[in-house]
Structure formats: C-alpha cells, structure tokens
A and B are shown apart, each in its own frame.
Chain A
Amino acid sequence: MSAPAVTSLANAGGTALAAEALPVTSLAAAGLALRRDLTLALRKPAQLIQPLTFFALVTMLFPLAISPQLSQLRQVAPGALWAAALLASLLALEFLFRDDSQDGTLEQYALSGKSLTALIFAKTLAHWLLTGVPLALMAPLAAIALGAPTAALPGIIAAVVLGSVSLSLVGSIGAALTLNIKRSSALLSLLTLPLSLPVLIFGARATQVAISGGSLIAPLELLGALAVLGVTLAPLAAAAAVRISLE
C-alpha cells in the first residue's frame, strides 16, 4: 500500500509543525529507544541494583554455607556462579516491558511505522547493558569469593558477557509472552528457565575450564553460537508476542 507522504500533507496548507517532517530510519528509532531506556534506568537506579545485590549476596553466602576451603569452593564455583547469574537476570526481566505496556509506549512503538523487531531488540540491548554487563563486571568478585584463581577471571568475564546476552534475549521472549498476565513472575520463570538451560550448562562448563586452566575456545564458541542464535531469533519472537499482547 502506498501511504501518502507526509510532505504532501504539508503542501496542502500545513503549519510549520507538519511542514518540516523528515522520516527517521528504524535503526535511528531503535537508537532513540535504547537511549530512552538507559536514561530512565539511570533515574530509577533501585531497579538496577536489585539483581546485582541478589547476585552478590548469593555468591558471597556460598562460602559461608559450604566451607571456606578453596578446593571445595572451586568445585561448586561454576554452578553457584551461573545459577546466581541466571536467577539475578530473571529478577530484572519482569520490568523489561511492563512499564511500557502500562503507559502505552509499546502501543506507540507498534504504531510508529518502524520495525517493531528493531525497537524490541533495542529494549533488550538496554536490558543487557543494565543487567548483563554489570553482572559480568561483578563476576570476578564473586569468582574470587568462590575460590577461583585470578588467572581464571578473564575467561569467567568473557563467559558471563556472552552468556548474559543469551539470557537477556531468551528472557525478552518470556517477558513479552507474559505481558498481560497479572503476577506473572512464576510463569515467566517457568517459560524462561528451560530455554536458559543450555546457557547455564555451557556457561558453567566455561567457568570450570577457566578455573582448571584449560582451553576456553570450545565453551566460549558454544556460548557465542547461542548468543548469535538469540540475536537472530529472539527479537522476532518477542516482537510477535508484543503485538499479540496489544490486541
């Protein structure tokens, strides 16, 4: 369908407000959506701090609950680190689309004439920057608390960076599917956790290899492949789920 150009509207006697209309690309619109979410998050830091605090508390409590012996801690470190990262990521997911759904922002995105997939991807990217990256930055502290040697830290950071990309993307699908459901936390977990299991398994394996000093290439490649798969498919699925929720 050929929609009438905005400029033709302006030529029909429009005011200055209409006359200067120049379209923006979907990429530029996505950039604005990303900036907006980052601005909003920095003005409400409590939502940012909650998952990080959870991650820090869980990983710091493990040494107290199990044993301060490094050999024992190193054995449970990969599992503890990734289970905590996964649950911390879940905590933040509830907020991914909720406010935008309630105040009509998602509706305006859907009606913007721009790719909803690009806009949803921008929102997910903002979510990753605000939760995944801080988790990756905090991972070395948690790893040291769990007895990991300092030589393992770069590998652990790389694994958490790659793994958290997939966690955010998988989570975006769950968050979009549960948009119109009240008290959706339990359902969100049920939907998201099974899809996140490959990330948990490969992430824990990468951490284990990093601690034992082995080659990280294979586990990091697997985490990278999952991230690529997520970037390719998750925004499409999440955008479709958002459209359904707007009906």
Chain B
Amino acid sequence: MSPNTLEAENLHLWRGDRHVLRGVGFSLPAGQCLKLTGANGTGKTSLLRTLAGLMYPEEGRVRFCGADVRADLRAFQGSLAYLGHEPPLKADLTARENLRYWIGTRRRLSDALLRAGLARVGAEALAGRLVRTLSAGQRRRVALAGLSLCAVPLWLLDEPATNLDTEGQALVGSLIAEQLARGGLAVAAVHHELSGLGAVHQLELAA
C-alpha cells in the first residue's frame, strides 16, 4: 500500500455552462498541507467537494494512496473528514449530543474522548449547551472538536477559521499541524495565513 498521498489529475468540472475546474492537478504527500487560494467563485469549494467524491468531474481523477478513489468510494470517504462553510450541527441538540451523533457514526466515542475533544478546542464548558445558544465562533469550535475526533488521514477544510478570533485561527493552525505530524494530509481553502505550520503547498485557482 502506498503511504498517504492525495493526487488530483487533470480535473475538469462544469456547473451548467460554467467551466469551474480547468485541468486542476496536484500531488500531496503524507504530512503535507495544501492551501487553496483564489477569489470568490474560482472553484475552491467545488474542488474540495470533488476531492471528497461529492461531485463528479467530467474529466480527470482523484487518487488516494495510489488508488482511484472511485474504485471504492465509501472506503475513501470513510478516510476523510470534510468541514464545509457551515458546521454540521443541530441547533436543538447540545454540543455534546451533536458530536456524539455526528462523529459517533464514524467511530466509537467514549464520554472521556468527547470531553477531551471539546477541551482541545477550548469548548469544554459548551458541552451541555444547546447549539442554538452558541455564537458562530463557538459553533465553529465545536465543529473543530468534531474534526479532531474524526481520526482520519485526510482533512478537507473549507474556510475552517470562519467566525473565529485570532486565538481560534491559531487553533486551526495547530490542529492541522497535529494532523500533519500524525502523517495525515490536509487540503484547506483559506483566506488567511495558517499559523504554526511549516512549509505549505499552495494552489491558486483562477476564474
């Protein structure tokens, strides 16, 4: 088995009459982070969703660990964590319940692990609060706790630091650094610098 590597090869994606991805390609080895940049509407989210297997490109392919992800899409998707614009949280559940029902569909979670996940992002005190009572930044922290609990080799992050203060943005950087130190990979669409990371690959998407 090849080590954790993510490769995109000549990806072309159309949305209606718009050619969103025009031959995008890259190779990302284990322990590395790829930062996606570009103006609004240049296809950062579409690329992340294509990499996750949620969107089907008209041309090109994505390989993970040397194998085409379409060969066993479910196994590949079980190896990745995707965090979109909005945290996938239910307003009428507490932060703890949200994580139990969200991350619990992927791995077994003990109470201690849940507490540790929330503590890691400074959200331990939010565990018993309904998500509807949390601020946007606090919701983002709960979502980051979910991300850190996923324990998968590949992270696909769409503006992970949205609504976070300076400390929260540094937290995103340190979480990604931990992921890379474990031999994982991260692809992140971000508008700001990711602090705490070494060399980061960058892919600029143009309209």
Which has the most chain B C-beta neighbours within 10 Å: A8, A14, A35, A111?
A111
Could you tell me how many residues of chain B have their Cβ less than 8 Å away from some Cβ of chain A? 56
Whether A108 and B88, one on each chain, are in contact in the complex, defined by CB atoms closer than 8 angstroms, is yes
Whether B93 and A39, one on each chain, are in contact in the complex, defined by CB atoms closer than 8 angstroms, is yes
Whether B77 and A39, one on each chain, are in contact in the complex, defined by CB atoms closer than 8 angstroms, is no
Contact of A107 among B1, B65, B84 (CB under 8 A): B84
Does A50 belong to the interface (CB within 8 Å)?
no
A41 and chain B: residue at smallest CB distance = B92
**B55 contacts which chain A residues (CB < 8 A)?**
247
Q: A43-B92, A104-B86, A113-B106 given as contacts; is B120 within 8 A of A17 (CB)? A: yes
Measured CB to CB, the closest approach of chain A to B163, in angstroms, equals 15
CA distance A17 to B76 in the complex (A): 21
Measured CB to CB, the closest approach of chain A to B88, in angstroms, equals 4
**B151 contacts which chain A residues (CB < 8 A)?**
6, 9-10, 14, 17-21
Contact of B78 among A14, A113, A247 (CB under 8 A): A113
How many residue pairs link A and B with beta carbons under 8 A? The number is: 153
Whether A119 and B107, one on each chain, are in contact in the complex, defined by CB atoms closer than 8 angstroms, is no
CA distance A3 to B73 in the complex (A): 10
Contact of A9 among B68, B82, B84, B182 (CB under 8 A): B182
**A35 contacts which chain B residues (CB < 8 A)?**
101
Whether A4 and B105, one on each chain, are in contact in the complex, defined by CB atoms closer than 8 angstroms, is no
**B77 contacts which chain A residues (CB < 8 A)?**
110-113
Which has the most chain A C-beta neighbours within 10 Å: B69, B86, B110, B151?
B151
Contact of B1 among A2, A9, A19 (CB under 8 A): A2
Whether A33 and B105, one on each chain, are in contact in the complex, defined by CB atoms closer than 8 angstroms, is yes
Does B207 belong to the interface (CB within 8 Å)?
no
Whether B74 and A20, one on each chain, are in contact in the complex, defined by CB atoms closer than 8 angstroms, is no
**A150 contacts which chain B residues (CB < 8 A)?**
none
Does A66 belong to the interface (CB within 8 Å)?
no
Q: A2-B75, A4-B153, A17-B120 given as contacts; is B182 within 8 A of A24 (CB)? A: no
The 6 closest A-B pairs by CB, nearest first: A113-B78, A21-B151, A12-B183, A104-B88, A1-B67, A29-B105
Besides A1-B76, A108-B102, 11 other A-B contacts (C-beta < 8 A): A9-B151, A12-B183, A14-B182, A15-B178, A18-B182, A33-B105, A36-B90, A108-B88, A112-B105, A247-B54, A247-B56
